[in-house]
Amino acid sequence: MMLKVFQDESALAQAAAKVLVLEFKKAATRSGKFSVVLSGGSTPEATYKLLSTKLFCEQIDLTKVHVFWGDERCVPTGDSRSNYRMANDALLSRVPHSPIKHSSHVPRPKCSGGRGGV
């Protein structure tokens, strides 16, 4: 595995978006679908926003994308701290043929009021 260091968040987002498009193309050719696990937190937000732009989303047939969730916080989905909300606001609600139709939302456990995630 090669460690890559980027100048800033924008350079990281550009590189990550390019890798995702490349991997989509490989998977779509091989199996006709592409499964991706979306991460939460603030780090991937710039990448998700970039993927929602015309430059990137036109390279991906979103009807072939299946979305899974890597983690979620114990907050309502409308909460500003929700990873689901961040991914939806930054990417899924901004693209045509949103892959949200092909997603598996993380079931939220009953939270006891403390901090935590799934």
CB atoms within 10 A of CB 8: 9
In a domain, 90, yes or no: yes
User: How many H helices and E strands in the chain?
Assistant: 4, 3
Average pLDDT, the chain: 85
Sign of CA dihedral 46, 58, 15, 39: positive
In a domain, 113, yes or no: no
In a domain, 66, yes or no: yes
CATH number at residue 75: 3.40.50.1360
Per-residue pLDDT of 37-89, as tens digits, reads 999 999 999 999 999 999 998 999 888 888 888 888 888 888 999 998 999 89
On the question of pLDDT at 96 being above 90, the answer is no
- Structural domain range at position 44: 10-104
Instruction: Give the count of domains, the chain.
Output: 1
Of 113 and 36, the one with more pLDDT: 36
In a domain, 117, yes or no: no
Tell me the whole-structure pTM to 2 decimals.
0.82
